[in-house]
Amino acid sequence: MNIQLTLAARYLFGRKLRTVLTTLAVVFGVLVIFGMNTVLPTMLEAFQANILAASGQVDVTITHQSGEAFAVSVLNRVKAIEGVRAAAGSLGRTVNLPQGWFGRNVNISAVSLVGLEPRSAQTIRNYSILQGRFLRTNDSLAAVITTSLADQLGLKVGDEIKLPTPEGTVALTIVGLRPARTLPGNEEVLITLFEAQKLLDLPKRINTIEANLDTTDPARREAIQKAIEAQLGKSYQFGALGSGAELVASIRTGQAGFNLFGFLALFMGGFIIFNTFRTVVAERRRDIGMLRALGASRPTILGLILAEGLLQGGLGTAIGMALGYLMAAGLLNVMAPMLEQFIHLRLGAPIVSPALVAMTIMLGVGVTLVAGLLPALSASQVTPLEALRPATAEVVQRAIGLGAIVGAVLIVLAAMGLVSGNTGLVAAGGLSFLLGLVLVAPALVRPIAVAFGALVALAFARQGTGTLAQGNLTRQPSRAAVTASATMIGLAIIVAVGGLTTSLAGNFLGILRKTLGSDYLLLPPALAVWQSDVGANQDLADQLRQVRGVGAVATMRYAGAKANGKPVSLLGIDPATFPQVAGLNFQVGEADTAYAELARGRTLIANGPFASDAGLKVGDMVTLSTPQGERPYRVVAIAGDYLNAKVTTAYLSQASLREDFRKTEDIFIQVNLAPGVDPAAVEPKLKEITAQYPQFKLVSGRAYYEENKRLFDAAFAVYYALFFVLTVPSLIAILNTLAIGVIERTREIGMLRAIGSTRKQVRQMVLAEALLLAATGTAFGLLAGLYLGYVMVSALSSGGFPVTYSFPLGGLLAAIAVGLLFGVIAAIIPAQQATRMEIVKALRYE
């Protein structure tokens, strides 16, 4: 074996604890990257298969323009197109039911009978089955329905459901139950495609093709869709991708976020490796000097250190990937029930792509090599003379160096970026702030250690160990700083995410309560994709108003328009009734004056995304394209509501909408009860009225709020769990630094013991040092975290997505607790090592 590899392996084996710790650092970085990038695509896949599908939004839906059925062969043409991951054909139709079909008390006026090819259908959507089984290809007269339908009809698996068909009434045996339908729209009765073709008398025909694409890249998706259009020709139409594409985009943003955190974790790992290798080189200066004297060339020494890095990097990456996969599988397992319960998302097996494996290996081994390179280069600069000089304990006393100055400049730049309010500058500021802190850290270690040292010294006053620990820490300020930086990044993540989530949750729920805070909501089938909703004429709102106990009713109407060539949703509100029931969240302008201005006509309230997108300020004129031609509108305020928070939207008076867009259809209705009215007395009547308009679903405002809050909480719980995992490398960093410190000071510790320190005092010295390190890192972490959290929130705000910053007290306290806990945990092993030393051996230690 090559001499460098031999030596590397021997050295690694000779210092087992340190090797394990350093390797662990690599393991963790790799684990996070590999694990997260396994979890996310799996979730993304599940999202595509479930959420999009469940809301009728698979990637592409193809129907004939006439709405009529077409030949099955069209499906094969779609399947053959490159980029189509899966495609399935179905034959469905709405079956209107005669009054009282299911009995007097059951109020179901229609169901959708859907014929599916069982196997291919499941490649497009995830049909979870709660009881019984899914359809099989050779089933005959078998059906799968939802538990909500089964409950309404009092049916269970094995019972029969009767439906009218062109072939007469058929009785279908229920073979399986799906989760309750939560989305508005008709209940579905699933049967096999063959059965449907028979019952509907349409042999070998389908009327819908659904296809999923193999990418989330918007440009590629568009290209694939174009290819499908080219293949099928003009007589086929495609389902709206709008809202689905938006959901995919937000998942992609999430993925980018997670990757950012994964890189941060690996960055931490890099710090730890850097620290270790620097110590390795310092410790072995003499060995290296001797090798140089014996004729080892500089490249040989460089190779020696890098070989160690390679061994550790390779091993760490391999273990990290294995553990990362297990973590992903475990995490998915834990999340699965939660996701299934709250958002009806069913997860598949973890997805590992070869590209991810290649990327992880490159990153894991690459980071190790890069982190080892600087120490290795410095090792290769060791002169042979170093082997001949007598040993002196090194105490690095560095004046405030160039790094600290550059760091300070970066921090000032970051602050300026924040003040500027420009999104790009704010985001760049976040990065520069973190980098600045890392650079400034060595200069700050001493003052911070002195400050906290006073506390620690107080705590251990009688042993005098606090002062020793403080001295030990400050004599290697750059190592302490690198360790503190690793801790800082870990804790900064907790605090920053805490800040972001607290702010987001507070704001979203606040806006939700403000804008959808009415007692009852009449929700159309699709929220925020208003153009596809069928509304109601004014009769519905009038009927609701006449119900005894109803206080106020506000409606929303929709029209699509273009402003400056870009689409914008126009929502018509009644300036008089709307504020009584709901409201907008005002960023610029006053509610009262804005509604009054709106009532005058040809005025609009722009929401954040629209204002930001079109560069609008209050008082600006904007031209809207209407069926009557272009019309100028004046912006009177900037405000938004919950449902349209991410869609470019403007609010007009219903009068303007009628005049310029000829739209009078209500697509969303909010109802408030009169003060002191018991909901139980009014609700049945409301239900009765709504039942005549099956396109609307009546929901109590409170239930809607609670459901959304639950969703938020579930999502945040997952986030917090993930970010806690990300902080573990900082624990390793402290542990590693302490262990290195103990090994390095073996002789000193022996001396301390020889002159009469008790084991307890030595243990306390190590513990005090650990706490100092942790406190320093935590202090940096809190600072950086608060800043980063604020930056994320401001970045959102300047993107037209107004969020007020809330102070993350919870995250802050959690970070402090985690930081100090890590300090204590990290001290355990090194303290044990230090106390168990045999005095004589320690004194002889070289």
Partner 1 sequence: MSLIQAEQLTKIYGQGETAVTALDHVNLSVAPGEFVAVMGPSGCGKSTLLHLVGGLDRPTEGRVRIDGADLTTLDDARLTELRRRKIGFVFQFFNLIPVLDATENAALPLTLDGVKPAEARAKASEWLTKVGLGNRLRNRPDQLSGGQQQRVAIARALVADPALVLADEPTGNLDTRASDEVAGLLKQVSDAWGRAVVMVTHDPRLAAYADRIIFLKDGAIVDETRLSGNGAEEARAVKEKVEAL
Chosen residue from 79, 181, 286, 759 binding partner 1 by CB under 8 A: 286
Calculate helix-pair angle for 298-343, 701-744, nearest 10 degrees: 160
567 C-beta neighbours (distance < 10 Å), count: 13
Q: Does 10 bind partner 1 (CB under 8 A)?
A: yes
Using CB under 8 A as the criterion, what x/- string covers residues 299-338 for binding partner 1?
A: -x--------------------------------------
Tokens linked to 371: 């982190």
Q: Does 296 bind partner 1 (CB under 8 A)?
A: yes
Q: Does 3 bind partner 1 (CB under 8 A)?
A: yes
Token look-up 């779609």 returns 78
Burial class (CB in 10 A: 0-12, 13-18, 19+), 409: middle
Dihedral sign, Cα of residue 421, residue 425, residue 427, residue 428: negative
| Residue whose CB is less far from partner 1, 3 or 260 | 3
Chosen residue from 290, 329, 431, 824 binding partner 1 by CB under 8 A: 290
Question: What is the DSSP secondary-structure string of 380-416?
Answer: HT--GGGGTSPP--------S-HHHHHHHHHHHHHHH
Number of residues that bind partner 1 (CB under 8 A): 28
Instruction: Determine what percent of the chain falls in helix, strand and coil, rounding each to the nearest 5.
Output: 60, 15, 25
Candidates 218-226, 289-297, 395-403, 460-468 — which segment interacts with partner 1 by CB under 8 A?
Answer: 289-297
Pairing assessment for the beta strands 60-64 and 187-192 based on DSSP bridges: unpaired
| Residue whose CB is less far from partner 1, 289 or 466 | 289
Tokens linked to 175: 């073979």
| Residue whose CB is less far from partner 1, 10 or 104 | 10
Chosen residue from 179, 185, 384, 549 binding partner 1 by CB under 8 A: 384
How far apart are CB 397 and partner 1 at their closest, in Å? Answer: 19
Chosen residue from 125, 178, 292, 753 binding partner 1 by CB under 8 A: 292
Candidates 132-140, 383-391, 530-538, 563-571 — which segment interacts with partner 1 by CB under 8 A?
Answer: 383-391
Residue 245 contacts residue 92 (beta carbons within 8 Å): no
Question: What is the DSSP secondary-structure string of 16-64?
Answer: HHHHHHHHHHHHHHHHHHHHHHHHHHHHHHHHIIIIIHHTT--SEEEEE
Q: Does 392 bind partner 1 (CB under 8 A)?
A: no
Question: What length does the chain have?
Answer: 846
How far apart are CB 11 and partner 1 at their closest, in Å? Answer: 5
Chosen residue from 156, 220, 298, 760 binding partner 1 by CB under 8 A: 298
How far apart are CB 283 and partner 1 at their closest, in Å? Answer: 11
How far apart are CB 279 and partner 1 at their closest, in Å? Answer: 16
Helices and strands in the chain: count of H runs, count of E runs: 27, 22
Q: How far apart are the first and last CA of the chain?
A: 28
| Residue whose CB is less far from partner 1, 278 or 284 | 284
Q: Does 676 bind partner 1 (CB under 8 A)?
A: no
Please give the backbone phi and psi of residue 207, each rounded to the nearest 5 degrees, phi first: -125, 0
Dihedral sign, Cα of residue 432, residue 437, residue 442, residue 443: positive
How far apart are CB 3 and partner 1 at their closest, in Å? Answer: 5
| Residue whose CB is less far from partner 1, 153 or 387 | 387
Half-sphere exposure of 139 (CA within 13 A, CB side): 25
DSSP H helices in 172-241: 193-199, 218-232
Closest CA to 6 of 318, 373, 311: 311
Q: Does 293 bind partner 1 (CB under 8 A)?
A: yes
Chosen residue from 71, 106, 249, 388 binding partner 1 by CB under 8 A: 388
Chosen residue from 187, 214, 246, 287 binding partner 1 by CB under 8 A: 287
How far apart are CB 394 and partner 1 at their closest, in Å? Answer: 16
Tokens linked to 696: 């609307």
Enumerate residues 6+ apart whose C-beta is below 8 A from 453.
466, 467, 469, 470, 473, 772
Candidates 7-15, 619-627, 786-794, 802-810 — which segment interacts with partner 1 by CB under 8 A?
Answer: 7-15
CA angle 356, 362, 363 (to 5 degrees): 85
Using CB under 8 A as the criterion, what x/- string covers residues 13-32 for binding partner 1?
A: xx------------------
Q: Does 619 bind partner 1 (CB under 8 A)?
A: no
Candidates 100-108, 387-395, 483-491, 664-672 — which segment interacts with partner 1 by CB under 8 A?
Answer: 387-395
Q: Does 841 bind partner 1 (CB under 8 A)?
A: no
Candidates 144-152, 205-213, 283-291, 472-480 — which segment interacts with partner 1 by CB under 8 A?
Answer: 283-291
CA gap 793, 267 in Å, rounded = 24
CA gap 362, 354 in Å, rounded = 12
Q: Does 291 bind partner 1 (CB under 8 A)?
A: yes
CA gap 509, 730 in Å, rounded = 33
| Residue whose CB is less far from partner 1, 1 or 395 | 1
CA gap 369, 7 in Å, rounded = 17
| Residue whose CB is less far from partner 1, 152 or 381 | 381
Candidates 64-72, 379-387, 524-532, 533-541 — which segment interacts with partner 1 by CB under 8 A?
Answer: 379-387
Which residues are bridge partners to 700 per DSSP? 520
The H or E element containing residue 86 is: strand 84-96
Q: Does 157 bind partner 1 (CB under 8 A)?
A: no
| Residue whose CB is less far from partner 1, 13 or 349 | 13
Tokens linked to 341: 């319960």
Q: Does 378 bind partner 1 (CB under 8 A)?
A: no
| Residue whose CB is less far from partner 1, 141 or 843 | 843
| Residue whose CB is less far from partner 1, 1 or 680 | 1
Which residues are bridge partners to 648 per DSSP? none
Residue 184 contacts residue 524 (beta carbons within 8 Å): yes
Chosen residue from 71, 171, 362, 385 binding partner 1 by CB under 8 A: 385
The H or E element containing residue 447 is: helix 423-459
| Residue whose CB is less far from partner 1, 319 or 382 | 382
| Residue whose CB is less far from partner 1, 23 or 727 | 23
Instruction: Please give the residue ranges that form the binding site for partner 1 (CB under 8 A).
Output: 1, 3, 6-7, 10-11, 13-14, 286-287, 290-298, 300, 383-385, 387-388, 390-391, 846
